[in-house]
């Protein structure tokens, strides 16, 4: 077997393993979230909510959420979105998140993966990929009502995020551009360090959700 063939087989094996892991995660997260939503629903005629009585969550994206993730927003109806509306999304960025992101993206910078190496850098420890941190902005946008489509994003990084830190992303609509397009202020904070780590602006299109 040539080294090229061996490399192709290894890549295929890694891809299949990642796909299987992702499917399993989504199934587990979906089941856990549905259970949590069901537990929070009021009883019907004195009985607990059943499969047949379950009410679908108001945001389709929630169906794929992890119970450790948190979010809040100021608007629930896409027809009522206006300047000043906000969404905040928060989660811890774990060692597993960092290693999976490195494998998927190909960004295997030792600063993110090698503790001994990172301890000798200006940061003194491993830090989370900047792109992974900024990805929480997209997580917040996914929880706007309607179907949010990214059109542009400007970012300025002002500090690192340590592995395991809890991070929040807050998006606020600051301008209605017409044609269902909006300009938003986007801010990411490291809650453990009480510091802003990313400032920026995004432009999105909020489309109608497809019919079920």
The full length of the chain comes to 212
Q: pLDDT category, 211, cuts 50, 70, 90?
A: confident
Please check whether residue 197 is in contact with residue 133, taking contact to mean a CB–CB distance below 8 angstroms.
yes
Spatial distance between the Cα atoms of 18 and 204, rounded to a whole number of angstroms:
30
So what's the pLDDT on residue 103? Answer: 98
Q: Is the pLDDT of residue 14 over 90?
A: no
So what's the pLDDT on residue 64? Answer: 60
Please check whether residue 198 is in contact with residue 134, taking contact to mean a CB–CB distance below 8 angstroms.
yes
So what's the pLDDT on residue 61? Answer: 57
Q: What percent of the chain has pLDDT over 90?
A: 65
Angle at 119 between CA 117 and CA 120, to 5 degrees: 75
Q: Is the pLDDT of residue 44 over 70?
A: no
120-142: per-residue pLDDT in tens?
999 999 999 999 999 999 999 99
Residue 74 or 30, more confident: 74
Q: Is the pLDDT of residue 189 over 70?
A: yes
Please check whether residue 161 is in contact with residue 133, taking contact to mean a CB–CB distance below 8 angstroms.
yes
What token pair was written down for 163?
């592995």
For the chain, the average pLDDT equals 80
Domain locations along the chain: 71-93+129-207
Q: Work out the average pLDDT over 5-18.
A: 48
62-104: per-residue pLDDT in tens?
566 666 899 999 999 999 999 999 999 999 999 999 999 999 9
**Fold topology of 71-93+129-207:** Thiol Ester Dehydrase; Chain A (3.10.129)
What order of strands is seen across the sheet that includes strand 70-73?
70-73, 86-92, 166-178, 181-190, 195-207, 147-157
């Amino acid at each position: 077997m040539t080294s090229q063939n061996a490399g192709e087989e290894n890549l295929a094996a890694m891809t299949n393993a990642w796909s299987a892991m992702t499917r399993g995660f989504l199934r587990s997260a979906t089941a856990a979230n549905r259970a949590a939503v069901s537990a929070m629903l009021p009883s019907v005629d004195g009985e607990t909510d059943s499969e047949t009585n379950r009410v679908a969550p108001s945001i389709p994206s929630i169906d794929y959420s992890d119970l450790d993730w948190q979010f809040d927003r100021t608007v629930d109806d896409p027809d009522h979105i206006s300047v000043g509306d906000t969404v905040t999304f928060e989660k811890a960025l774990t060692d597993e998140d960092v290693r999976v992101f490195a494998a998927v993206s190909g960004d295997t910078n030792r600063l993110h993966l090698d503790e001994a190496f990172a301890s000798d850098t200006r940061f003194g420890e491993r830090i989370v990929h900047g792109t992974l941190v900024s990805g929480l902005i997209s997580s917040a946008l996914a929880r706007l009502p309607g179907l949010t489509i990214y059109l542009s994003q400007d970012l300025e990084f002002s500090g690192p995020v340590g592995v395991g830190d809890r991070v929040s992303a807050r998006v606020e609509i600051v301008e209605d551009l017409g044609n269902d397009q909006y300009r938003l202020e986007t801010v990411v904070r490291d809650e453990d360090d009480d510091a802003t780590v990313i400032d920026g602006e995004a432009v999105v299109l909020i489309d109608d959700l497809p019919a079920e």
